[in-house]
Amino acid sequence: MANKTVTATRMELTRLKRKLVTTRRGHKLLKDKRDELMRQFLSMVRDNMELRKKVEAGLAASNKNFVLAKSTMSEEAVNVAFMTPKQEVSLEVSEKNIMSVDIPVFEYKTRTSDPNDIYSYGFAFTSSDLDDAVKSLSDLLPDMLKLAETEKACQLMAAEIEKTRRRVNALEHVIIPETEAGIKMITMKLDENERSTQIRLMKVKDMLLEEAHHYSERQA
């Protein structure tokens, strides 16, 4: 740290002092940012886990329904039933800003507003298990979207927290000590210079006086 060459001038000293002030302020701000991000992240990640467990349980249930449905129907019948989907989902993506992290917010629109209008097949040739399966999936969709939103937000925030943490650490453990050492070095160097100038002046004064009054001769 101290072996970094610093020119020992007053200009450099002022520059370093100013830099130290800015760095300290930046460090404090970044630390606050990190703490707040962390607080929000932790609550969000808990939601994320809960949602995920819910979605996974729901998917497992609906997968079971699908397997049941498939077991009572022929492969072709199932394929025909799903050939032309009736429903269409589109997403509107907006942004939310949490502590300077842009987080996508999804809003979904279905083509038909009737939530029961999801069966893309006539009921005559399909088993009722298939209806159950489709229903359970469609009930799950809002949660799945919520999960997508939360999980993405968590990923983005985790990345941002990591970045911020690195910055905080770099400031705290490298930049600030380095600057402080630089300031100390320059101050000492300048003090040293001042003392040597003082001594030199005293010596010169002595010599001048000696020349004018010849003290040493008189003493002898």
Partner 1 sequence: MYKIAIMGESDSIYGFATLGLDTFPVDNPESAQKTLRNLAENDYAVVYITENCAAGIQNEIDRYSEEKLPAIILVPGVYGNTGDGVRNVSKSVEQAVGSDIIFGGDKE
Contact set with partner 1 (CB under 8 A): 38, 41-42, 45-46, 48-49, 52-53, 55-56, 59-60, 62-63, 66-67, 78-79, 82, 85-93, 102, 104, 106, 108, 110-111, 118-120, 133-134, 137-138, 141, 144-145, 147-149, 151-152, 154-159, 161-162, 165
Nearer to partner 1, 69 or 171 (CB): 69
Rg over CA atoms, the chain: 37
CA distance to 14, 88, 99, 198, per residue, from 122 (Å): 82, 18, 50, 104
In the complex, what is the shortest distance from the CB of residue 48 to partner 1, in angstroms, rounded to a whole number? 6
* Identity at 117, one-letter amino acid code: D
- Do 132 and 61 contact (CB within 8 A), yes or no? no
Convert 132-161 to b/e letters by CB count within 10 Å (16 or more is b): bbbbbbbebbeeebbbebbbebbebbeebb
Minimum CB distance to partner 1 smaller for 8 or for 144: 144
- Which CB, 97 or 216, lies closer to partner 1? 97
Smallest distance, partner 1 to C-beta of residue 84, A: 9
Q: Which is nearer to partner 1, 45 or 181 (CB)?
A: 45
User: Positive or negative CA dihedral for 147, 148, 149, 153?
Assistant: positive
CB 166, min distance to partner 1, A: 11
